[in-house]
C-alpha cells in the first residue's frame, strides 16, 4: 500500500505540472443507512484530476470514506481509502482505448482490503465496452460493462440518453463466508438521461437489477463491501459558472447485507461536486 501511495503522489505532481487543459473535481457525499446491522452514517471525500494532452487523457483520483458503525458487532468505525488511475488514448474522433487500475485500503474488511481492480475498455462512436477484473484475497470478480449513448437536440436543449448493462461473475465465491451467500452471476440493466440548457443541466438515472462488488462510474467507484444492491435511483442538477461547474446529486439505493442475510437496507446519498477547468 505504501508503494501505491507513492505512485499516487508522483502521478498527482505529474498532472499538476501540466496544468493547461486540466480539470480538478472535488466531491463530498453524505451517507445515511436505514435498517443496516453494521453502519448508520458516513462521509465520502474525493478528488479527481484529469489532464488532456493531444490524444491522451490522464486521470488520477483519491477517495476517503469515514463511516460510523454499530459497536458491536463492529470493533471500530470504518476508514477506507481508495486510489484510482486511468489512461485513455483516442484514435481519431470515434475510437478510444482505456486502461484503469484501482486499489483499496480498508481497516475492517480483510477480504477486500488490498484488492486490485483492473480495467480495459474500448469505445467506438456511441458504443463502449469495458472489462474489469477485481482481484481479492479469496475470490475474484469479473465485470463486463456495455453502454450505448443517444443524442438529440430540441432547439436550445441538448439531451442524451444512455442505456447500459453490467454483467458480473463471481469466481470462487464459496471459498469464504464473506461472499458465499452471493449468487454466481448478476446482470444489471440501467438508463441515464441528461439535458443541457445554456449553463444549466439536469440528469436522472436508474439501475433495475441486482449487483454486488460492482465497479461504477467508469472505473472511479468500487463497491467492495458484501452488499447486494437491488434498486438504484439518481437525480442531479448543475450549473456552469465560467470555468467552474457546480452539481448537486441525490442517490437512493436498496440493498441486502449478504453475510448476515439482512435485507431491506436503504442507503441515501446526498453529494456536492465542484469542477474547475484551468
The pLDDT tens digits of the residues spanning 220-266 come to 999 999 999 998 999 999 999 999 999 999 999 999 999 999 999 99
Distance of CA 196 to CAs 152, 158, 200, Å? 11, 5, 6
Contact 120, 145 (CB under 8 A): no
The answer on pLDDT for 4 being more than 70 is no
Percent of all residues in the chain with a pLDDT value above 70, rounded to a whole number: 93
How big is the CA angle at 139 (ends 259 and 212), to the nearest 5 degrees?
50
Task: Please compute Rg for the chain using Cα positions.
Answer: 19
Q: Terminus-to-terminus CA distance in the chain, angstroms?
A: 31
pLDDT band with cut points at 50, 70 and 90 for residue 170: very high
Alpha carbon distance 23, 60 (integer Å): 11
The answer on pLDDT for 14 being more than 60 is no
Alpha carbon distance 116, 260 (integer Å): 25
Contacts of 73 (CB under 8 A, 6+ apart): 37, 38
Alpha carbon distance 17, 246 (integer Å): 25
Give 84-134 pLDDT, tens digit per residue.
999 999 998 899 999 999 999 999 999 999 999 999 999 999 999 999 999
Architecture label for domain 2-277 = Beta Barrel (2.40)
Give 132-145 pLDDT, tens digit per residue.
999 999 999 999 99
The mean pLDDT value of the chain amounts to 93
Tell which phi-psi region holds residue 161, choosing left (phi > 0), alpha (psi between -120 and 50) or beta. beta
Burial 217-230 (b: 16+ CB within 10 A, else e): ebbbbbbbbbbbbb
Alpha carbon of residue 210 to chain centroid: 16
Alpha carbon of residue 196 to chain centroid: 23
Higher-confidence residue: 16 or 191?
A: 191
Contact 219, 100 (CB under 8 A): yes
What pLDDT was estimated at residue 175? Answer: 87
Contacts of 235 (CB under 8 A, 6+ apart): 202, 203, 204, 205, 249, 250
Mean pLDDT to the nearest integer, 49-74 = 95
C-alpha cell of residue 165 = 448493462
Alpha carbon distance 83, 233 (integer Å): 26
pLDDT band with cut points at 50, 70 and 90 for residue 54: confident
Q: Are strands 227-241 and 200-207 parallel, antiparallel or unpaired?
A: antiparallel
- Which of 49, 46, 55 lies closest to 10 in space, CA to CA? 49
The answer on pLDDT for 13 being more than 60 is no
Amino acid at each position: 500500500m505504501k508503494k501505491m501511495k507513492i505512485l499516487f503522489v508522483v502521478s498527482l505532481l505529474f498532472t499538476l505540472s501540466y496544468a493547461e487543459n486540466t480539470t480538478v473535481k472535488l466531491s463530498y457525499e453524505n451517507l445515511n443507512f436505514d435498517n443496516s446491522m453494521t453502519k448508520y452514517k458516513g462521509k465520502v471525500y474525493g478528488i479527481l484530476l484529469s489532464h488532456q494532452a493531444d490524444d491522451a487523457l490522464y486521470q488520477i483520483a483519491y477517495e476517503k470514506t469515514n463511516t460510523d458503525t454499530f459497536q458491536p458487532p463492529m470493533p471500530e468505525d470504518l476508514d477506507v481509502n481508495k486510489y484510482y488511475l486511468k489512461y485513455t488514448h483516442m484514435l481519431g474522433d470515434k475510437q478510444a482505448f482505456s486502461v484503469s487500475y484501482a486499489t483499496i485500503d480498508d481497516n475492517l474488511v480483510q477480504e477486500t482490503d488490498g484488492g486490485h481492480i483492473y480495467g480495459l475498455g474500448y469505445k467506438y462512436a456511441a458504443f463502449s465496452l469495458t472489462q474489469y477484473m477485481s482481484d481479492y484475497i479469496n475470490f475474484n470478480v469479473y465485470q463486463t460493462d456495455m453502454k450505448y449513448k443517444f443524442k438529440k437536440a430540441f432547439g436550445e436543449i441538448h439531451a442524451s440518453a444512455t442505456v447500459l448493462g453490467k454483467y458480473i461473475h463471481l469466481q470462487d465465491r464459496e471459498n469464504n463466508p464473506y461472499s458465499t451467500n452471493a449468487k454466481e452471476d448478476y446482470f444489471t440493466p440501467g438508463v441515464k438521461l441528461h439535458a443541457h440548457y445554456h449553463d444549466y443541466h439536469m440528469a436522472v438515472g436508474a439501475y433495475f437489477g441486482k449487483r454486488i462488488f460492482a465497479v461504477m462510474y467508469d472505473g472511479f467507484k468500487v463497491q467492495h463491501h458484501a452488499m447486494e444492491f437491488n434498486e438504484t435511483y439518481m437525480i442531479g442538477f448543475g450549473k456552469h459558472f465560467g470555468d467552474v461547474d457546480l452539481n448537486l446529486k441525490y442517490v437512493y439505493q436498496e440493498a441486502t447485507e449478504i453475510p448476515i442475510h439482512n435485507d431491506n437496507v436503504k442507503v441515501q446519498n446526498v453529494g456536492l461536486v465542484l469542477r474547475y477547468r484551468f
